[in-house]
Structure 1
Amino acid sequence: MPAAELRPNPLYRCFLIVTYIPATIKRVLSFGSIQILFLLLLGCLFLPPVLSAQEYSYVYYNTRDGLAGSTIYDMCQDKDGFIWFATEAGLSRFDGTRFKNFTTADGLPEVEILKLYADHQGRVWIAPFKNTICYYYQGKIYTSANDSLLKKVKLNTVITHITGDKEDNIFLCSVGHDAYLLQTRKGPGKFIDLRAHGRLFSYAQPNFFDRDGLIVSTSDSTFILANGKLQFWSTGALPLKAFVTLHDYDHKIKYIKLPVESLNAYIHFDAEKKQTQTYFALTNHGAWMVDTLHFDHFEEIFLKEKQVNSALIDNERNIWFGTGGEGVYKLVSRNFKTYSFKDSKTSEIFSLTRHGQAMLAGTGFNRMYSIVGSKVDSIDFYKAFSGSVNQTSSNRLVSIKKTSAGNLVLGFDLFLFQKNASGSLVNYVFPIKSIDEIDAQTLLVGTGRNVIRVREKDLKVLDTIWPYRSTAVSYYNDSFYVGTVDGLHVVSKDGPSRFLGKDFPSLRYRTACFARSADGILWTATYGGGVVGMKDNRIIGHLTTRQGISSDICRSLFVYQNYLWVGTDKGINKVDISKPTYPVHRYSTSDGLPSDIINAIYVDSSRVYVGSPAGLTTFDEKQVSDYSRCDLRVLDISVSGLSKRLQPAYELGYNDNNLRIEFVAISFKSGGDIMYRYRLKGLKDSWDSTRQNQLEYPSLPSGNYQLELLAINKFGVVSNPVIIPFLIDTPYWQAWWFKILVVGFAIGLTATLVAWRFSIVQRREKEKIGLQQKIHELEQLALLSQMNPHFIFNCLNSIQAFIINNDVEKTNQYLTEFAYLIRQTMDSAEKGVISIGQEVRYLTRYIELEKMRFGHSFEYTIETDVQIDQVNTCLPSMLLQPYVENSIRHGIRHKRNGQGVLEIKFQQSGDQLLCIVEDNGIGRESARQFRSHLHVEYQSKGMTLAAARVKALNRQYGEPVVIEIIDKTDQEQRPTGTRVEIYFPYKMLSKLS
């Protein structure tokens, strides 16, 4: 629809003046300033007119989106559904999501492309700014250098027009109207120079009259061109500077003169209905659409005042316009129209409501718009109030509340305003965030600093409900629901508050707004947590992206009948809240919205009003076409990192099992909102889903596979299936002859290994026998070490001393203990192992003899952990005695101060048995000095043999026995004794037992 200038209704302006003057006079007189009163009256009387137009919402693409250039000379849609753009900086192909650009590096003879044509075989013919022609087919660009037909083409000038018929006879027209014909299907192909027929230019697209030929014109006649021959059709040339229609039934020419010079023309032929549906005349001042019913006027102008070089209607009925220097505009729907407010510093709309026949829209800079049909009135509020309101402030109207009394309460960033039948009121409270009605006399107002109760009749603040910043408020079930940056709080009438986010994590996000549905559910929109529905302090519903809404960042809500309309940062969601599954229908820029950021929504029957940063948009949802297509195409198949030519099936070597498949579903209305379903039969029979446009199989085993692909677009349209078989060859090592060879080799190798293993086992048995012999030898040596002559000699000397002293009792006692010790030592040496209980008795008897011999000069203790089984837990025999003897003879024996103490402990330490021998003797360093003067080599030999026994045991059982000797010292680092810790693994002890 052409842009129209809309002026305020005079009656409405008078109503505003009558409404504002009483309240204004009263307020100004209170300030005592006649000058201010005069200025306010003057400002109300001369409200500026509103210049507004309803404009379509376009989706815009430019170089920042991936387009090769911003000047679009021509466009076409190929057989596969891709849209191609001829630009000044290369050739672009668009699949609805991404652009792929082609330049001279890809084979183009020149980067500046003037004309395009897509034929029925899937080729895209390309006319660069050069005396040549080329085409793109199946991933490759063909020129005269690599195509036999194009080698025959001889051009004198640049091609300015390309078209063809259903037999793919390609008609070329150049500067000066030199004409040529390429016959591409019959035989090897022909290049026909048509200049002998005069100066020709082509007018119609193929199938314009469902004929085999093309309609071309000379200077005085119009012809049908077929098979290189001209067939007369009508007298008279087609006028170049007019828009033309041709009537096949009476061979007449009818045209409409353009008010401006035409750059080009576009005719859309509906192949299904076999008729022309749309005409566009493309000019420097927009695209002019012809009334195709009567062909006597131009119906509408698109992109007025922009240079439109090309137009295209794709197979989803989107209209594309290529401009000179401003990229591409896509018109998805002519049903979406946006009001642009030319008198405002901003077009962004923050709030919406209906008041009578008018739709009220709150914007910034102290302004509100009233829209009735196509008529728009502007109301400026800064002139009606105190000078403290800055005219240049962005003071937004963020909330419009229509009370039950029929009054309008407006919430601005700088004040609260009410307009009723008696006049206007204003209150300069803190920045208003949200307004709700408590009862017929009281309002609940959320501000940037608190939540307050306000009396409606005079806007007086009655009390404070919440003393902190709020983002949205609602009075629900006799309680105050306060939304904050940190989540949702509920405040009861008696004062206590409760943070609902404590019980419901989804309510811990910033609250945006509230809406109540007829079933009593309070719906809460959050920034990040989706929409939460509550009733009786229970969550009834929770809408997130998992349930199908487009984003979890929700900015606005509106309830109409059984539908909840949710505005997000990614478009609008219409949710059917009467059904338990909450089905969702989405609207976004891909449908015609100018912006996906939705600040406000208002729905009246099927008419939807949307406030966004782009302005006020309205559409009739019943007239929004959901016609869509979804064409699935495979873009590339890579094997082991190398791209392969697209073909119906693939047979690959066993090493070529690294596959990467890139694909795209072409659905320009879906805006990239496409789900892919896939499975690779032979590997996995179940279906998987993804939103990515590629699949990777890094290492497939040999076998037969079949890749099956489907795409489902935003509207639920299922694409054509893509099925690609893959055969990965069996490697040679899986062939039958190779298997026989491997089996024979394995048998021979097995026999060799068995013989080798048998020899190893024999050798190990010999080593084991030798090791056992060594252990027995060491045990005997240990026995000799313990029963060394010196020890026996000392014991006999002690016995002799007792006899000389006529101490018969001690002599008998000593001899008895000595005999028991000798017998127990012999038994332990024979068995090789000793239980812990026996070891305790053996050490006790030995220590008692030593204690008697040294005149009871020391004390000792032996402790055993209660968790240890003393009967069934065995130790290597005679392994602890050398360390006990060492403590007595070299540690405690030479102690000069205090009584000697010897402690022996058996403890459980994890999966090990810990034996501790600890004394408070003179320490190892002092004992070493004594040994330098005494002959005690036998003792050193006993300790060495004990260490050798431990080493042999570790080799035999593979479970190491660990011995740690710790020198004890006091705070002044003086020796205070020695501590020996011996760790026996229980695994080894179980083998001993």
Structure 2
Amino acid sequence: MKTTATYVCLILSIWCMRLNAQQYQMRNYSVKEGIGQSQVFSLLQDRRGYLWMGTRGGGLTRFDGVEFTHYTTKEGLVNNYIYKIIEDKNGNLWIATSGGISYFNGKSFINFRNTGNLSDVFDICLDSHGTLYAATGTGLFQLHVPKPFVKIASVFEKLAFVSEAVYSVAADRNDKIWFGTAKGVYRLQSGNKKDLFLSGRYINKIYCDHSGKIWVGTYGNGLFYWSNDKFRQFLPGKFPEMKEVYEIYQDKKGEFWFGTLSQGIYRYDTLTKRITNIREKDGLCNNHVRCIISDREGNFWFGTSGGGVCHYFGMPFTHYDRESGLPGNFIYSVFADKKKRIWAGTSNLGIALLDSGKFKTFGAENGFINTKVKSILEDGSGNYYLGTEGDGLYQMKFIRSDSFHIQKIKLLRNAFVRGMCLSQDGSIWVATAGLGLYHLEKGEKDPENLVMSHYTEAEGILSNRLVSVCEDGSGNIWYATESNGVGIFEKGELKHHSTSAVLKNIPLRSLVMDRLGYLWAGTAGEGVYCWKPGEIPQISAFRERNKQLTSQNMYLIAFDTKGNVFLGSESGLDYIELDKNRKWISVKHYGKSEGFLGIETCQNAVAEDVNGNIWFGTVNGLTSCNPAAFTKNPIAPALGLSGIRLFYKNISQTTFHSSISNWGEVKLLDLPHDQNHITFDLRAISFSNPGNVAYQWKLQGFDPQWSPESRQNYVTYSNIPPGDYVFLVKARNSDGVWNQTPLSIPVSIHAPFWQTWWFRTMIITILAFIIWIVFRARFNTLRKKAREAETRLILDKKVSDLEHQALRLQMNPHFIFNALNSIQSQIGEQNEQRARYYLAKFGRLMRQILDNSRKQYISLKEEVETLENYLLVEKFSSGDTFDYEINTDPNMDMDFIKIPPMLLQPFVENSIKHGFKNLQQRRGNILIEFRELEHKLICTISDNGVGREIAQERADSEGESYHESTALKVIRERLMLMDPGNAEPKIDIQDLYSKQGIPCGTKITIEIPIS
């Protein structure tokens, strides 16, 4: 099919801007990030890895890559306006300030202020003998530092032959002291002599390089160096703007860095003799540079006056944004053409072309299309194809360098182009979102016209909504759908690849073929998939490794010349090192902290230029990456402790603070048993990538093996048993380099006194004695119980005998004979009903007596019922010759009170048998009363009989037995058995008399213990 188009010819009138990219990727730290003040005049990395910053007003700031710690006059610093920080051989700090000098040993400050006019101290240095020299506003001072340092014996001595203000001081390799004033440079000689050089120059800085050469930075006269016994100007006339030099520094590679008043930094390569100027436009935070250092990992730090500190990573990224000349920061598409030019579709609805250090912009203002360009491609003839967002596909041809033709391909007029691919035969494949796949070929007769083929779901593709298209080494075309898997044109035929089933319903964003023939599919939230067509029948997702990615949300995929892969996401780049089988070796993340300033990448906005550089489109601009500059950091983190906590309380606030030395070092952590909850706060400093430091630890003697790798910077051990241990910890940097020697901290937990040998011996002795005592007590108890059991047997036998005696007393044969005889007489008198009644009462009485005889105790209620039946039968047997009455206290619980059975009946029987016998003048009467008094039952039996004396006389005269004495004896013994520990039970028998003294009855009172 031929396409027709309208050609528009325009004279190229394009606005060009000179390239102004950030060639040096830097991260800036100032007050907002945590520095005490924005003017940083001195920088130092100590042997523990900390970075110290001396500010003009904010005191001293310490930085470990993550946290800032401040030291000001509140913490003991002599003055908050700092000029210089140095470290002595013992690792302690000397700080020169506007108010004197402070000495810091890691815990406290020792200050020297206004001693011999020691006030404004601009610079300090130490010679090899430990002598400290101070450049002040009133001259040069020296201090012979004793070992160990003692303030009382330490006094600064002013060198009398130097009376003017000294701004810089340095010691060379031969311990010659050089100092600079407003009049020039002086060199001290023996005998208080001095040599003057560079007379009339105002000296800002004196520096001794690695070879021992002296360099001098001046105010207004540039830079000088010492050679052949005289000073020579550095590159005179070549850099006239480099006049005010405040800092001189030589790095580990031998290159020099010069900080200036207003021209930023000059970098001098001693091998190539090349000088590079770094200013604010290149990423420097301020052009007034006061100090420069490189840390132990090779990173550079620049202290400025007003801009804080710049951290230069040396990373291989170059960033471009609006300030660099881009018309917009949002980059939708990127393409590298054959002429080494970079094309970028921007948020300004046009294209930016980076050509020979200049940005050329194509937009509506110069006749270009006014829409988003989502994909760019160059064909074999040098024509450019621009895929847009909803405005179809355009073809662009350059007539000359200053003019171009642009035409719209009508059949793709409203297409949303998502990707394009130039195949080996020169044809173009276009993936769209909604219109399927297009194939553009040049006509055989008219190459200027395009023949187009269109494939949709009707023709057999998986979906009309595509996200990407690419070609493999065999010329097969692969396309990725939004959510229906991956399809293939194999030798011109549409096929559904086996991977489609795996990738179906997984949202895809990109599809790329690498140099080894592996296909890579980036997804929205499912990570990345990789497979090789024809060799691996099923897709391999590397799911177990996806957890190492910063994000599972893939926007783009790109490969460097080594075959390693870049994965772009909303969090930056993940760079994955692969082996030849595409197995993952390592993953490293690049975000803002690592120099990738664009951070969030745009979908499929990536291209590789002819030099192997990879260009990334981001939401914050365009970034170029040189993968060849990637190097592994061979320096392990500087490892130490930032603190120790006992039960969540800092050890410095406890009585065990002496375990910690001045700089937080621990020789031995010696603790009692009740301080066995320890937290070690870990500190591993790696400024190259502080967020990717990881630890492993082990408490030797407690942990069987090293802990898993963790980014957690503290570890807690609780309930540590008494014993001797060694806490070991090691750390790795972002490239997996571990400390060769772990940090070792001995820990001793003392045993409590109850776990010592002497205490255990004492306890064993005491236990043995207690066991003997218990055994003896048990033996005595058993013996006592045996005696008690024997006594109980005897007692039980006696109780049984007494109960049998009581039963015999109750079952008096005479009583039984009389009762039965009376019942028989009733039968003889034909009084059958009365006979039955008393026979029933008699039978019940016998049952009660027999039942009660089997019990040791019965209730008072049962005893009263038995007495009533007995009295009723006796009254019947005696011919109704007496009356009776039984009274009980209504407040008593008769069911609750227990007494021995057959206890009272003998007394009642005696009253009837002997008291009422031959009683002629009155009718007999028996009164029985029960009441409770002081946990005892008081029973009273009263009769109005003839009395004991007359009854005894009659019994004797008639030859009858009077068994009161026997019954009384049995009752007493039974009561004694109820309460064996008390005195003899009380049974009171009282004779009753009339007013005339005639016996008229008997009263018996019995106290029964309540059971």
The TM-score, its normalising length taken from structure 1, stands at 0.63
Rounded to whole Å, the distance in 2 between the matches of 1:626 and 1:259 is 39
**CA displacement 1:203-253 (0-9 Å, x = unmatched):** 4655xx423243113565643459995654757365431333332542334
Output the amino acid matched with 1:575. Answer: E
Rounded to whole Å, the distance in 1 between the matches of 2:743 and 2:615 is 41
Partner of 2:357: 374
**CA displacement 1:929-964 (0-9 Å, x = unmatched):** xxxxxxxxxxxxxxxxxxxxxxxxxxxxxxxxxxxx
Distance 1:502 1:661, change over 3 A: farther
Partner of 1:555: 555
Asked if the contact 1:450–1:467 (Cα under 8 Å) also holds between the matched residues in 2, the reply is no
Partner of 2:540: 540
Partner of 1:244: 223
Distance 1:371 1:432, change over 3 A: same
Output the amino acid matched with 1:744. Answer: T
CA RMSD, 1 decimal:
4.2
Secondary structure in 2 matching 1:284: coil
Partner of 1:132: 100
**CA displacement 1:546-576 (0-9 Å, x = unmatched):** 5855543332212455614223333241432
Asked if the contact 2:336–2:607 (Cα under 8 Å) also holds between the matched residues in 1, the reply is no
Partner of 2:585: 583
Rounded to whole Å, the distance in 2 between the matches of 1:346 and 1:585 is 31
Distance 1:464 1:91, change over 3 A: farther
**Residue correspondence of structure 1 range 920-931 to structure 2 within 5 A:** none
Secondary structure in 2 matching 1:738: helix
Partner of 2:615: 609
1:648 partnered with 2:667: yes
Rounded to whole Å, the distance in 2 between the matches of 1:514 and 1:744 is 82
Output the amino acid matched with 1:366. Answer: L
Rounded to whole Å, the distance in 2 between the matches of 1:524 and 1:123 is 55
Which runs of 5 or more residues in structure 2 are unaligned? 203-217, 400-404, 442-448, 652-656, 790-1011
Output the amino acid matched with 1:180. Answer: F
1:212 partnered with 2:193: no
Q: Which among 140, 161, 172 is matched to residue 179 of structure 1? A: 140
Compute the displacement of 1:713 (Å): 1.1
Secondary structure in 2 matching 1:744: helix
Q: Which among 679, 683, 701 is matched to residue 664 of structure 1? A: 683
Asked if the contact 2:515–2:563 (Cα under 8 Å) also holds between the matched residues in 1, the reply is no
**Residue correspondence of structure 1 range 885-900 to structure 2 within 5 A:** none
Rounded to whole Å, the distance in 1 between the matches of 2:191 and 2:416 is 77
**CA displacement 1:483-518 (0-9 Å, x = unmatched):** 43x6745589999989968746xx765423111124
Rounded to whole Å, the distance in 1 between the matches of 2:117 and 2:704 is 56
Rounded to whole Å, the distance in 1 between the matches of 2:639 and 2:700 is 19
- Greater Cα offset, 376-385 or 514-523: 376-385
**CA displacement 1:73-100 (0-9 Å, x = unmatched):** 3322222221112234343211223322
**Residue correspondence of structure 1 range 312-461 to structure 2 within 5 A:** 312-333=293-314, 336-340=317-321, 342-364=324-346, 365-372=348-355, 374-380=357-363, 383-384=366-367, 389=370, 395-403=371-379, 407-415=383-391, 416-419=393-396, 424-426=406-408, 427-436=412-421, 444-449=429-434, 451-453=436-438, 455=440
Rounded to whole Å, the distance in 1 between the matches of 2:727 and 2:124 is 39
Secondary structure in 1 matching 2:539: strand
Rounded to whole Å, the distance in 2 between the matches of 1:633 and 1:213 is 36
Compute the displacement of 1:191 (Å): 0.9
Output the amino acid matched with 2:373. Answer: L
Q: Which among 197, 219, 234 is matched to residue 162 of structure 2? A: 197
Secondary structure in 2 matching 1:704: strand
Compute the displacement of 1:131 (Å): 1.9
The TM-score, its normalising length taken from structure 2, stands at 0.62
Partner of 2:480: 482
Compute the displacement of 1:369 (Å): 3.5
**Residue correspondence of structure 1 range 53-72 to structure 2 within 5 A:** 53-55=20-22, 56-72=24-40
Asked if the contact 2:44–2:51 (Cα under 8 Å) also holds between the matched residues in 1, the reply is yes
Distance 1:115 1:217, change over 3 A: closer
1:713 partnered with 2:715: no
**CA displacement 1:49-78 (0-9 Å, x = unmatched):** 122124322122234433333333332222
Which runs of 5 or more residues in structure 1 are unaligned? 1-21, 29-39, 145-149, 390-394, 767-993
Partner of 2:124: 162
Secondary structure in 2 matching 1:741: helix
Output the amino acid matched with 2:767. Answer: A
Rounded to whole Å, the distance in 2 between the matches of 1:82 and 1:459 is 67
Compute the displacement of 1:705 (Å): 0.9
Rounded to whole Å, the distance in 2 between the matches of 1:71 and 1:112 is 10
Compute the displacement of 1:524 (Å): 0.8
Partner of 2:839: none
Compute the displacement of 1:748 (Å): 5.0
**CA displacement 1:336-380 (0-9 Å, x = unmatched):** 433455443324444333321223231312333444553544433
Output the amino acid matched with 1:540. Answer: S
Q: Percent identity?
A: 20
Rounded to whole Å, the distance in 2 between the matches of 1:572 and 1:226 is 59
**Residue correspondence of structure 1 range 138-157 to structure 2 within 5 A:** 138=106, 140-144=107-111, 150=112, 153-155=115-117, 157=119
Secondary structure in 2 matching 1:542: coil
Rounded to whole Å, the distance in 2 between the matches of 1:158 and 1:213 is 23
Partner of 2:523: 526
Q: Which among 630, 636, 645 is matched to residue 638 of structure 1? A: 645
Secondary structure in 1 matching 2:290: strand
1:311 partnered with 2:297: no
Rounded to whole Å, the distance in 2 between the matches of 1:65 and 1:501 is 49
Distance 1:238 1:334, change over 3 A: farther
**CA displacement 1:960-981 (0-9 Å, x = unmatched):** xxxxxxxxxxxxxxxxxxxxxx
Asked if the contact 2:50–2:63 (Cα under 8 Å) also holds between the matched residues in 1, the reply is yes
Secondary structure in 1 matching 2:758: helix
**Residue correspondence of structure 1 range 807-846 to structure 2 within 5 A:** none
Asked if the contact 1:487–1:509 (Cα under 8 Å) also holds between the matched residues in 2, the reply is yes
Partner of 2:981: none
Asked if the contact 2:315–2:594 (Cα under 8 Å) also holds between the matched residues in 1, the reply is no
Distance 1:564 1:230, change over 3 A: same
Distance 1:624 1:320, change over 3 A: same
Partner of 2:454: 462
Output the amino acid matched with 2:514. Answer: S
1:92 partnered with 2:61: yes
Compute the displacement of 1:48 (Å): 0.9
Compute the displacement of 1:698 (Å): 2.2
Compute the displacement of 1:173 (Å): 2.7
Secondary structure in 2 matching 1:742: helix
Partner of 1:300: 277
Asked if the contact 1:450–1:468 (Cα under 8 Å) also holds between the matched residues in 2, the reply is yes
Compute the displacement of 1:633 (Å): 2.4
1:742 partnered with 2:723: no
Work out the number of aligned pairs and report it.
704
Asked if the contact 2:125–2:132 (Cα under 8 Å) also holds between the matched residues in 1, the reply is yes
**CA displacement 1:291-344 (0-9 Å, x = unmatched):** 65799x964233357333332222322222223333322112175433455443
Secondary structure in 1 matching 2:624: strand
Distance 1:167 1:348, change over 3 A: farther
Asked if the contact 2:330–2:617 (Cα under 8 Å) also holds between the matched residues in 1, the reply is yes
Distance 1:235 1:560, change over 3 A: closer
Secondary structure in 2 matching 1:97: coil
Partner of 2:17: 50
Asked if the contact 1:547–1:582 (Cα under 8 Å) also holds between the matched residues in 2, the reply is no
Rounded to whole Å, the distance in 1 between the matches of 2:376 and 2:593 is 29
Distance 1:436 1:756, change over 3 A: farther
Rounded to whole Å, the distance in 2 between the matches of 1:755 and 1:399 is 101
Rounded to whole Å, the distance in 1 between the matches of 2:778 and 2:398 is 109
Compute the displacement of 1:671 (Å): 3.7
Rounded to whole Å, the distance in 1 between the matches of 2:168 and 2:124 is 10
Secondary structure in 2 matching 1:133: strand
Rounded to whole Å, the distance in 2 between the matches of 1:657 and 1:376 is 66
